[in-house]
Amino acid sequence: MKKWLMAVLFGAVLVLGACGGGGDDNATDEGGDDTGGETASAAEEIYENNCSACHGADLEGNNGPDLTDVGSKYDADEIADIIQEGTGGMPAQSQVSDEDTETLSDWLAEKK
Ligand code: HEC
C-alpha cells in the first residue's frame, strides 16, 4: 500500500519537474517542444504584446485564466476563434492580424 503511494507521488514529482521549465526569463528562447525556436519566439512576442496583461507573462494567468495547458482544452482553430471573437469575459483581440493569430494559436495549441 505504502510503496504504491510512494510510486504515485514520485511519478507526480517527475511530471511536475519536467513541465516546470519555463522560468521567468522571457528574453531567452527556450527553443523547446517540437515547434521551431523561431516560431516560438515570434509567437511569444505576439503573446507578450497582446495577451500577457491578462494571462500573465508566463501564461500563468492574471485577470484571465492560466493558459499553460490550454492546448489540452482547445485545438489551434478554437484558440484562433477565441482570439478573434473573444469569449465570456475576454474581449475580442481583433488588433491581432490573421497571420499573427495563426502563429499564436499554433504555439498555444502546443501547451499541454
Ligand atoms: C482584457 C484581458 C484579456 C486579454 C487582453 C486577453 N484575454 Fe484571453 N481571456 C480573458 C478572460 C477574462 C478569459 C476568461 C473568459 C471566460 O471564460 O469568461 C480569457 C480566456 C481565454 C482563453 C480560454 C481559456 C480557457 O481555459 O477556457 C484563451 C485560449 C485565451 N483567453 C487566449 C487569449 C490570447 C491568445 C490572447 C491574446 C491575443 C488573450 N487571450 C488576450 C482575458 C483576456
Per-residue model confidence as pLDDT tens digits over 74-104: 999 999 999 999 999 999 999 999 999 999 9
Cα(22)–Cα(94) distance, integer angstroms: 28
Q: How far is the CA of 5 from the centre of ligand 1 (A)?
A: 37
Identify the pLDDT of residue 32.
Answer: 46
Cα(110)–Cα(112) distance, integer angstroms: 6
Residue 18 has pLDDT above 70, yes or no: no
Cα(93)–Cα(17) distance, integer angstroms: 33
CB 43 within 8 A of CB 104: yes
Identify the pLDDT of residue 30.
Answer: 47
The whole-chain average pLDDT of the chain stands at: 83
Smallest CA separation from ligand 1 atom 16, residue:
88
CA distances from 67 to 6, 11, 29, 64, 74 (A): 30, 23, 18, 9, 11
CB 47 within 8 A of CB 107: yes
Looking at residues 8-16, what average pLDDT do you find? 63
* Grid-cell match 489540452, residue found: 72
84 or 26, higher pLDDT: 84
**pLDDT, tens only, 46-79:** 999 999 999 999 999 999 999 999 999 999 999 9
Cα(26)–Cα(52) distance, integer angstroms: 11
Q: How far is the CA of 91 from the centre of ligand 1 (A)?
A: 8
Pull the grid cell for residue 53.
496583461
Looking at residues 2-31, what average pLDDT do you find? 57
| CB-based pocket (< 6 A), ligand 1 | 50-51, 53-55, 63-65, 67, 70, 73-74, 79, 82-83, 87-91, 93, 96, 104, 108
| pTM score of the predicted model | 0.76
Cα(13)–Cα(11) distance, integer angstroms: 5
